[in-house]
Amino acid sequence: MNTQEIQRRSILGAGVMAMAGVSNAQQTTLTAKQRKTFVLIHGAWHGGWCWSRVSDLLLSQGHRVYAPSLTGNGDRSHLMSKDINLDTHIADIVNLFKWEDLKDVCLVAHSYGGWPVSGALEQVYTKVSSLILLDAFKPENGQKGVDMASDFSRKALVEAVAKGEAGRKAPPASSFSLHEKNWAWLQEKMTPQPNGVATQAIQLTGAREKVAKKTYIRAPKYPQTSFDQALAQCSADPSWKTFVMPETGHDVMVDEPEKLCEIFLQVA
C-alpha cells in the first residue's frame, strides 16, 4: 500500500470518528479496553430517538452506541401491525446482535424494554457483559405485560383492542418528563404501542441472571409498583447494583442524560 493510500484511509477513518463527535485527543487516549459498546432499548410509545442525548454523550467519548427502534415504534412505526408480539421485539434485539457481530455489550433496557431485553438474553447473554434496567420491568417466566401494566396502560389496551386497533395511544408527555421544555418534543415523537407485546407470556429460563454485571436504576417520581418491587429485589441481591435518581422523571435519558451517562460508564 503506498503512502497516498495510507493517508487517504487515515483521513476517511478520522472523518467517521469526527461525525460521531469524537475528538482527536479522545481517539488517541481511549484504549480498546476502555471503549464500550452500548445497546439502548427504549420503552413503550418511544423509539431509538429518545436516547439521542445519551447517545451523543457516549459517542463524544469514543464509545460505540446502537439505539434501535423496535418494530412498530419510532422510525419503524410504519410497520405497526396486529401481528407484532413480544417475540417480534425479542427478534429485533437478537438480530441486531447477530448482524452487527456484537459482543461484550452493555445492554440497557428502559421501562417496557425490560420485557424484550429479558427475552433476548435467553439467546445473547454470552455476548452481554453488563445489563442495566432503567426504571424497567423485570419480568419472571410466564408473566405478561398486561399483568404488570399501570391502570392507564391496561385501560388503553382494552379500549384499543375493542376498537380493532393494532396499538394503544401514549399518555401525555408530562407523564414521562418533569420538564415542560421537553413535552412538545416527546409528544411529537411518541407513537402508539403495539398491543400484542403485552398479551404474550414471556418464556425465561434464568439467562438474565447469568450476566456478570447487573444494575437496576429507579426514578421514584414515576409511580409504578412493579418498578418498586424490582428495586427491592435487586437491592436484596448482591449480584445487582442499584441506584435511585430522585430528581428526574421516568424518561431519565431525557431529563438527566449527563448523570445517566456517568452511571452507565461506572457499571458498564
Residue 17 lies in a domain: no
Instruction: Give yes or no for residue 17 having a pLDDT over 80.
Output: no
Residue 158 lies in a domain: yes
Instruction: Give yes or no for residue 117 having a pLDDT over 50.
Output: yes
Instruction: Give yes or no for residue 25 having a pLDDT over 70.
Output: no
Residue 68 lies in a domain: yes
pTM: 0.88
Alpha-carbon distance of 32 to 45, in angstroms, equals 35
Alpha-carbon distance of 182 to 80, in angstroms, equals 25
Helix (H) or strand (E) holding 38: strand 37-41
Alpha-carbon distance of 248 to 255, in angstroms, equals 6
Residue 86 lies in a domain: yes
Alpha-carbon distance of 116 to 10, in angstroms, equals 39
Residue 137 lies in a domain: yes
Decide which of 38 and 18 is more confident.
38
The predicted-structure confidence for 189-238, as pLDDT tens digits, reads as follows 999 999 999 999 999 999 999 999 999 999 999 999 999 999 999 999 99
Residue 26 lies in a domain: no
Q: What is the CATH number of the domain that holds 48?
A: 3.40.50.1820
The pLDDT, as a whole number, for residue 29 is: 60
| Beta carbons within 8 Å of 70's beta carbon, 6+ residues apart | 41, 42, 47, 76, 88, 89, 92, 93, 116
Decide which of 12 and 222 is more confident.
222
- Its domain, for residue 187, covers 33-267
Helix axes 257-267, 52-60, angle to 10 degrees: 60
How many structural domains compose the chain?
1
Report residue 249 as a C-alpha cell: 422523571
Structural contact between residues 182 and 255, judged by C-beta atoms closer than 8 angstroms:
yes
Task: Give residue for cell 457516549.
Answer: 58
Task: Give residue for cell 405497526.
Answer: 80
Residue 1 lies in a domain: no
Entry field: residues in the chain: 268
